[in-house]
Structure 1
Amino acid sequence: MISNRSIPRVTVIPVLAYPDANEAAAWLCKAFAYSIRLRVGTHRVQLNVGEGAVIVRELRPHEIGGPVGLGHSITVRVDDADAHCTRARAHGARITQEPSTHPYGERQYVAEDLAGHSWTFSQSVADVLPEDWGGTSEQLN
C-alpha cells in the first residue's frame, strides 16, 4: 500500500457527519481527548484517536433533519474508562451507560456526543478466554 500523508495510516476510518464539522472536532478533542490531524477546507476534519482515526464531515443538504447516528456505535479503547468518563461528562457528553465491568474483561461506558453519535469507551481489565464468558474463539491473533 502506498503511504499518503493526506489520509491516516490506519486500516479502518469511521466517518461521522455533524451539522458543523469544525465545532464537532473541537468538542471531540475537548471531551474525548482526541487531536486534530488535518483539516480539509471547512467541511472535513481528520482526528487522531490513539493509534486510530476518525473523520468528521459536515452534513450534506439532503441529510439535514434526518436521524443522526441511528444504528451505529464506535468503540474506542482507553487506558482508564472512569477517568475518561469523568472528562467526557465535564465537557457535556451525555453518558447513556455508566462505567461497568463485564465478564469478557472490559470496563466500558457509553456516551452520546453533541450530535447524537454513540461512542463506547472500553478499558481492558482482564485477559479472558471467550469460552469463559460464553463466546466462541474462531480466529484469535
Structure 2
Amino acid sequence: MDDLSHKLAANRSMPASTVIPVLAYEDVRRAVEWLCTVFGFRERLRIGNHRSQLLVGEGAVVISERGAGQNFNGSSHSLLVRVEDVDSHYERARAHSARIVQPPTGYPYGERQYTVEDLGGHSWTFSQTLADIEPEEWGGSLV
C-alpha cells in the first residue's frame, strides 16, 4: 500500500490535500456561496457550473452537482484520496474483492483515478497525479 507520508506530485488542477470530501448539491453555485460566506471557505477552482474546489485551512472540499456523472450510489457524498500509485492501489483493492465501480482511467486534468464502494456503501475515488495541468487547458478556471 502507498506510504502516504511521501509528498504527492503537484497538479494545479487538484487541491494539495490527501483526503478530499466530495459533497453533492442541487445548486453548486448557491452551495459555494453559502459555504464561503457561512464557514469562511475560499473557492479555489471552478469547473463550469457543475463543480468547484474549496479550500479551508490546509484542507479542501469539492462541491459537485448532484447527478453530474458522479458515483455517489444514491448518497450525497463521496471521498477522493490522492495516492502515489493508483494502479497498485487498485490491484490491492481488487485482490481483496472490493466492489470496483470504475477501473483506473486517465483524465485530461492530469489524474488517473478509480472508484470503489466500501462495505458500508460509501464511494471512494483514488487518484494519482500524472501531470501538472493548467486548469484552463481542460475547461476549469482558477478563482
What TM-score, normalized to structure 2? Answer: 0.48
- Considering Cα pairs closer than 8 Å and 6+ residues apart, tell me whether 1 or 2 has the greater RCO: 2
- Counting strand residues as a fraction of each chain, which structure ranks higher? 2
**Which has the greater radius of gyration?**
1
